[in-house]
Structures are given as C-alpha cells and as structure tokens.
Amino acid sequence: MAIARRIWIALLPLALTVAGGCSDRGAPPKPESLGAAPEPVVTVETTRVRRGAILQRITAPGSLVAKRESRIGSEVAGRIAKVFVTEGDRVSEGDPLFQIDPKSFELARNQASARLERARAERRQIEADLRRAEQLRSKQVVAEQRMDQLRTSLAVAVAAERELGEAVAMAERQLQQTLVRAPYDASVAARLEDEGTTALVRPQTIVLVLQETTELEAQATIPEVHFDAIRVGDAAVLHVEGVGHAIATEVATVSDAIDPATRTYLVTMRVPNEDRALKAGVFARIEILPQAKNDVLLLPREAIRREDGRTRVLAVRDGRAVAMPVQLGVIAEDAVEVLQGIRVDQEIVVGEAARTLAPGMQVRVAPNGDGAP
C-alpha cells in the first residue's frame, strides 16, 4: 500500500503536465500571435493640372421678337371708314393702312380757308385806305389821329390773317391725318378694329399692330452666374425648330441689371430676316460663345466632385487620396477652370474613383495615367 502511494505521488506532476497540454491545444490563438490585416490599395487614374485656354459655351432658352412693334391708332377722332389691310399683310413705308371719315375735316378746312380769305380781303382794304390817307395827309386833309388808327387796324388785320393761316394749316393737317399710313416697312401682326368703329384719341383706339420683321431680335435670359462672362460682340448661334441650319450672329446688347425675381439678365442679338422666313415670337435655343480665357488652370470635368454643398478634387499625396476644396471659374463641356485650391502639375484623380473614392485611402496610380511616372 505504501509502495502504491509513493508511485501515485511520483506520477502526479506528469499527469498535470499532460492535462495542461491538452487544454492549450483547444484554446484559440492569442491576437498578438497574428499579423495585422493589410490596408487595401485602390488603383486610380490621374491627370496633372495644366495651364491652357478654355472656351465656355453658354446655352439658354430664348425667343425671336420683332425689332420694332407699333400699335397704330389715329391722331384724330372719327368713324373708321375703311381699313385697307388685314392680319398677315406686308406693307411698305407710306402705304395706306386705314381711313377716318374725312367729311367733317374737309368742312373744317373749307371753313378755315373761307375765314382766311375774308381776313386777307380786310387786310388789303385797310392797306388801300392807309395809302389814300397818306396821300391826303400830305395835303393836310387827314388828321394824324386818323393815320394812327389806320396803321393800328392794319397791324391787327395782318395778325388776324396770320392766325387764320395757321388755322387753315392745322385743318389741312388734320384732314391728312384721317388717312393713316405705315411708318416703316412692316408686317401686320394684328387687326383690332373694323369699319364703323369710332376711333378715339384719348384713350387712343388701336386699330392695327405692326411689326418690323426684316430684322428680328433674339432675346435670352442668362443666369447671373454668367454675368461677367458675356460681352457685346461675342459670337452666338441660334437653333430654331423647323429651320434646318444654325443661325450665326453675335451679342448686340447686355443688360446691366439683374432681375431680382428670376436672378437673370437680358442679352439680345440681331437676326437678319430679309426673306421673312422667321416669325416673331418663335422659340429658339441660343448658344453664346464668349471669348476664350487663356493661361488658366484646367482640369477635366470628371475630376470635380460635389458633395455637401462643397466642390472638391482628390489629389494624390504620399500614396493617398487627399480631398482639396477648389473654386471654379469657367465650366466648358469637357474642362473646367480652377481659380483656387490647386497648382500646376499637381496629380488629381479622375474617372470613377474621383466620384466614389473616400479621402484618405491608399492609392496606386495606374501605369497609363497622366500622373504616372
């Protein structure tokens, strides 16, 4: 019994060692025994910031309007006797448009002429009396007081004759105004009154609307973001539905004021229309090409990312993508002008990665990228 106990005591350390070894094999390995997971490296395409020229193309909706539009009424009141044109007619300067009944104006002219003739007769009679009185005065037959009376009467007669002459001229002018003529070559855009209407002077009765259409005016409202971009003389191209070719023109006027309601300003262009193929009021898509800006910092449009109200690019620095805020200038179809935030030859991410890559990630420049060594 004593021998068996001594054997058990001797084997106890070995049993503990075996048990401990079995326990260690079942436990998970300790973290410090493993290496850290490698950081992913994203392959990106890049380009380098360069200097160059950029041509901006500003597109805006617009319309063609008549160069001049006149609402034609009569300068004298009366019944409209005849309207000579209708809507759509073309007229030349001086062509008759409509006639106010001239009868009452003819009577007024005739009456004024009759009064003028009587005044002339009275003036001639006084002149004759004055000549006879001067002859008798030399013989001391006529008193000086009588001479003064005759001279005064003659002055009054001359003034009355002049006044009546002006009345006749006024009556003649009003008679001529009963026939209303075209003030310039135009098209009749609207006929608003017909024969029998009583035309009034105040408020004026509008009988016809004329439009000068041999030259139209293209009008476009441009967002205020382009306020400094457009100048008089800049090239422009008009695209009108139904016209198979683009119409080349140039900027004629640029408004100095911004409409506070729409935040836009007005730009106009002259559009020759000698053949009257274009109609006033038609819609047009207008492209304005301001003069190119030279020696500016340029990037492809695909390099720009906008998020949270900010405009940024991803630059490659020490093998990582770094977000850099930028301020843009001219934006063209395939390039943008960068005013602030980058420098020449800086390496900038382009392509899909420019929009999706998270700032701070480790990157590798693709061998065919512009920024590749």
As to burial, measured by CB atoms within 10 angstroms (0-12 exposed, 13-18 middle, 19+ buried), residue 35 is exposed
pLDDT given for residue 367 in this prediction: 84
Q: Which residue has the tokens 């003389």?
A: 233
Burial 288-324 (b: 16+ CB within 10 A, else e): bbbeebeebbbbeebbbbeeeeeebbbbbeeeebbee
What local confidence, expressed as pLDDT, does residue 370 receive?
Answer: 57
- pLDDT tens per residue across all 373 residues of the chain: 444 444 444 444 444 444 444 444 445 555 444 556 778 899 999 999 999 998 888 899 999 999 899 999 999 999 999 999 999 999 999 999 999 999 999 999 999 999 999 999 999 999 998 888 888 877 777 788 888 899 999 999 999 999 999 999 999 999 999 999 999 999 999 999 999 999 998 889 999 999 998 899 999 999 988 887 899 999 999 999 888 889 999 999 999 999 999 999 999 999 999 888 898 889 999 999 888 888 999 999 999 998 888 899 999 999 999 999 999 888 887 899 999 999 999 999 999 999 899 999 999 999 865 554 3
Distance between CA atoms of 112 and 59, rounded to whole angstroms?
A: 63
Contact 80, 194 (CB under 8 A): yes
* Residues recorded for the chain: 373
CB atoms within 10 A of CB 223: 13
